[in-house]
Amino acid sequence: MDNFWIDIKEQLKATLPDHAYNTWFEPISLIGHTDNELILEVPNQFFYEWIESHYKNQINNTAQTLAGNNINIKYTVALEKQPTIETTSIVYSNKKSNSYKANLNKRYSFSNFIEGPNNQFARAAALAVASSPGQQTFNPLLIYGGVGLGKTHLLHAIGNHIIDEKESARIIIASSEKFTLDFISSIQKNKTIDFSRTYRKTDVLLIDDIQFFQKKEQTQEQFFHTFNDLYQHGKQIVMTSDRLPSEMKGLTDRLLSRFESGLVVDVQPPDFETRVAILMEKAEQNGLDMPYDMVEFMATHIKSSVRELESTIIRLLAYSSLSNCEIDFELVKKVVRERIGNGAPIDISATDIVKRVAEATKINEKDIVGSSRRRPIAEARQISVYLCREIMGTSLMDIGMHFGGRDHTTILHACRNIEKKIKTDKRIGYLVRSLQQDLTFSLI
């Protein structure tokens, strides 16, 4: 039967795209069998569901064809490696149990958190707190920023790091909603004392998404006391929020001042280079070998959040597995288009852009792609380059080719320069924005 499983894998390998095979079949192991039954172990529940919904028939058919009779295939999920998808539940660890391990999401660590100028400070603060929890200057630590930018990731990374350093550390990680629900249910069950005891016995309190505390006065009151108690005992508190405490409505003043009393750090959307780095990392994690120009294309168009980047990769993988095709530029374009909405102006050419910039700046098209360094000309060129990149997502090298064979560092420099000027120079900001809108609009 061992060989039989190897045969099945061989067969699947021959029929599936490499990355699909590597992602979904390489990690499966045969852990038991009888004459007409195979027991396969998959790394986690998600994996199981994926196999079940996408490959079950293919596996069964292959087995049957090879064996010539009916083979029953059973799956089990590997226990140890099973990640918790539930990230909001309370974890309370004590020396007797290791239950915390199930609740801190092990996938979120500092080592797989990609750093960029957008999150550098937040990451450093989180790491400092994780290395020596309870230090006054960093207590509480509040991480705020938009959705999908890594706040929850950092929160779990802190917990994981602390547990790695000191196994007996007591950690509670909960969303503010969970805190609220626990509190309410403790009132219903007449167990508010147990509730506060549990929360106040922890060494580290990690609370995700405190914006949900808004307008819940009783819960805030409860949290205020928990907070004070922990703080006075030098216990670390880390919170995340999608906005600044001062922007939260319905928050009592004293809680607001507690939230702001420590260190407040923000996470911003990733810049281009960070997006590239994140995509490459996520692709690798998923066993995808993506050519650089595709990565660059995706990084140019998918900008809003890391979660979006991640799900684009997963989409790609899903598409190519389902339709059994290799990932090529067409597929990447299709997925990207889908994610940023139809009418995305991907088909416009560099010539169109230069033409439009020439009209707007009254500078000759030939000059724009030429070599003159006169200031207005160089500026029009840089704007064109910037727009090529923003609107078309062309690779730096290709843009370079279009603009008289300039190398990619020159092109990158031009993009950066305009990026900066948009913010500091009103005239350029206005010009670029209106050109961008114009060009985009004309294509919808």
Instruction: List interacting residues with ligand ADP (CB under 6 A).
Output: 108, 112-114, 119, 147-153, 278, 306-307, 310
Please provide the distance, in angstroms rounded to a whole number, between the alpha carbons at the two ends of the chain. 58
Nearest approach, Cβ of residue 307 and Mg ion (Å): 9
From the list Mg ion, ligand ADP, none, partner contacted by residue 437 (C-beta under 5 to 8 A by kind): none
Q: What does 153 bind: Mg ion, ligand ADP, none (CB cut-off 5 to 8 Å by kind)?
A: ligand ADP
> Which residue's CB comes closest to ligand ADP?
150
CB of 148 to ligand ADP, least distance (A): 5
Nearer Cβ to Mg ion, position 143 or 348? 143
SS3 assignment, position 28: coil
Q: How far is the CB of 344 from ligand ADP (least distance, A)?
A: 22
Tell me the closest approach of the beta carbon of residue 206 to ligand ADP, in angstroms: 12
For ligand ADP, the closer of residues 16 and 313 by Cβ is 313
Q: Quick one: DSSP state of residue 136?
A: G
- Nearest alpha-carbon partner for 57 in 12, 4, 23, 14: 12
What are the Cα distances from residue 297, in Å, to 278, 287, 334, 344? 13, 19, 12, 13
Binding residue for Mg ion (CB under 5 A) from 62, 103, 105, 152? 152
The CB-nearest residue to Mg ion is 152
Q: What are phi and psi of 117, to 5 degrees?
A: -60, -25
Q: To the nearest whole angstrom, how small is the minimum distance from the Cβ of residue 196 to ligand ADP?
A: 27
- Phi then psi dihedrals of residue 24, to 5 deg: -100, -20
Dist CA 78 CA 76 (whole Å): 6
| 173 binding partner (options Mg ion, ligand ADP, none; Cβ < 5 to 8 Å by kind) | none
Q: In what order do the strands lie in the sheet with 72-77?
A: 29-34, 37-42, 72-77
Q: Which stretch binds Mg ion (CB under 5 A): 115-123, 146-154, 211-219, 351-359?
A: 146-154
400 binds, among ligand ADP, Mg ion, none (CB under 5 to 8 A by kind): none
Name which of Mg ion, ligand ADP, none residue 183 binds, using a CB cut-off of 5 to 8 Å depending on partner kind.
none
Alpha-helical (H) ranges within 369-407 are 375-387, 396-402
Looking at residue 167, the DSSP 8-state letter turns out to be T
| Both tokens assigned to 147 | 């959705």
394: Cβ contacts below 8 Å, ≥ 6 apart:
350, 388, 402
Contact 416, 273 (CB under 8 A): no
DSSP class per residue in 283-317: HHHTT----HHHHHHHHHH--S-HHHHHHHHHHHH
Residue number with CB closer to ligand ADP (230 or 239):
239
Q: How far is the CB of 307 from ligand ADP (least distance, A)?
A: 4
Choose the binding region for Mg ion from 149-157, 166-174, 304-312, 349-357 (rule: CB under 5 A): 149-157
Q: Work out what residue 118 binds among ligand ADP, Mg ion, none; the CB cut-off runs from 5 to 8 Å by kind.
A: none
The residue (of 150 and 159) whose beta carbon lies closer to ligand ADP is 150
Which region among 147-155, 169-177, 227-235, 242-250 touches Mg ion (by CB under 5 A)?
A: 147-155
Identify which of residues 151 and 406 has a Cβ nearer to Mg ion in the complex. Answer: 151
Task: Residue 307: name its binding partner from ligand ADP, Mg ion, none (Cβ under 5 to 8 Å by kind).
Answer: ligand ADP
Least distance between ligand ADP and beta carbon 277 (Å): 8
Q: CB within 8 A of 117, min separation 6: which ones?
A: 271, 274
Neighbours of 121 (CB within 10 A): 15
**Interface contacts to Mg ion, rule CB under 5 A:** 151-152
